[in-house]
Structure 1
Amino acid sequence: MPTIPALILAAGFGNRFGSDKRRAALADGCTLLAASLGRAQAVFEEVHVVLRPEDDPAELGLPEGCNIILCEDAGQGMGHSLAAGARALAAGEGEAIAVLLGDMPWIAESSLRALIAKAAPSRIVFPVHHDERGHPVLFGRDFWPELQTLTGDEGARRVLRAHVSAWVAVGVDDPGVLQDVDSPAALSPVPSP
């Protein structure tokens, strides 16, 4: 099994939600962010969460000892959060970084394992469900230097567009790879067809 650290981006402000969605409770009482973290921890040996400096991990429902990366300029967009995470992981081992979002708790473990199986330093691997590209995206080590320079609110789109030949799409029967939470109504997963 390749060494692949997971990076959960959770330093955003979620303005469309109306409040701090990371703290929103799911049906089981778990916070949205804690549920997303738990799903990643079930598959990845090493998981890091990108937060803002003022965040209290305990208030977000995160367990003690969780690997936290602070992004000083998170307010300037997701690109900054991803760059901060990539810089923090650059010195470590790993063939790829799995970039997950803190508001996607319903990705199936089997989908994560299928993505890991395709990861390599020269590949960008992502799931596809019903012809739609989803999350997470696994960026091979060859792309880490570019991730470290990202800015703005585009996330990694620039890196994706620049390296189409490196794409590896993995078909999954998992609506969870498309389901993020942008409003309180989205706190319940969409049932599978």
Structure 2
Amino acid sequence: MTELHSYPECVGLVLAAGYGQRFGSDKRLAKLADGNNLLVATLLRAQEAFSDVRIVLKAEDDAQALAIPPYIQVVRAAQAKQGMGSSLAAGIKSLAHSQADAVAVLLGDMPWVSLATLLQLRAHAHAEHIVVAYCDGQRGHPVLFGRRFWPELMQLRGENGAKGLIATHAQHVIEVTFNDSGILQDVDKPADLSHPATS
């Protein structure tokens, strides 16, 4: 783990404040084959790649009940009900005192992104760039946003995530293609738990 601390330039920000109605219960607690719940598996993978990992939760979430490790900083999204944009804005605001050059925005229901993919994305982190991952021609997660774009991310509201911002700043976007279907694979319903990505 000591090697990670020589890479303070990119924070891992896991968004997990959604309501996931399609799953039928709190999917963050759904168990995976390795015995971890979905959210913890995502956090553990993020922690392998980023020395500073933060998680965005709803105001009412019980971090202990979700089994979130105590050393991961919890950010509360007061407006989580409004949608992902509001949650992302809350997470970016938590970086006000960070010295990092970039933030990797990960989704809490995507535990199958490979470590190699995360490390390669992190290597592209830069204050002036947006780094976007692709697999089979499709854009996936995480997305890395350089510090230059944080003020705009803080203004996001409601359901609108950062797609518009990415389109607006197309000249600053770096596209990286992976043979890693984990960057496309989220969990919306229980059947999705039995289809881990092969990478």
The TM-score range, normalised by the shorter chain, is over 0.9
Amino acid at match of 1:101: L
Amino acid at match of 1:85: G
Q: Which residue of 1 aligns with 2:171?
A: 165
Q: Which residue of 2 aligns with 1:56?
A: 62
Paired residue for 1:156, among 153, 156, 162?
A: 162
Identity value in percent? 49
Cα gap change, 1:40 to 1:105, in 2 (>3 Å): same
Q: Per-residue displacement from partner, 1:96-123 (whole Å, max 9, x unpaired)?
A: 1100000000000000011111111111
Q: Which residue of 2 aligns with 1:104?
A: 110
Give the root-mean-square deviation of aligned CA atoms.
Answer: 1.3
SS at 1:136 equivalent: strand
Paired residue for 1:86, among 72, 92, 98?
A: 92
Distance 2:95 2:197 in 1: 35
Pair 1:144-2:133 in alignment = no
SS at 2:62 equivalent: coil
Q: Per-residue displacement from partner, 1:115-162 (whole Å, max 9, x unpaired)?
A: 111111111002111111110000001000000000011211121121
For the 8 Å contact 2:131–2:173, the answer to whether it is kept is yes
Pair 1:124-2:153 in alignment = no
Q: Per-residue displacement from partner, 1:139-189 (whole Å, max 9, x unpaired)?
A: 001000000000011211121121111111111111100000001000123
SS at 1:135 equivalent: strand
Pair 1:26-2:32 in alignment = yes
- Deviation at residue 2 of structure 1 after TM alignment: 5.4
Amino acid at match of 2:118: L
Structure 1: 4+ residue segments shifted above 4 A: none
Moved more, 123-132 or 135-144: 123-132
Structure 2 gaps, min length 5: 1-6
For the 8 Å contact 1:127–1:171, the answer to whether it is kept is yes
Q: Which residue of 1 aligns with 2:78?
A: 72
| TM-score of the aligned structures, taking structure 2 as reference length | 0.93
For the 8 Å contact 1:30–1:61, the answer to whether it is kept is no
| TM-score of the aligned structures, taking structure 1 as reference length | 0.96
Distance 1:10 1:55 in 2: 10
Moved more, 54-63 or 174-183: 54-63
- Deviation at residue 64 of structure 1 after TM alignment: 2.2
- Deviation at residue 192 of structure 1 after TM alignment: 2.9
Total equivalences in the alignment: 193
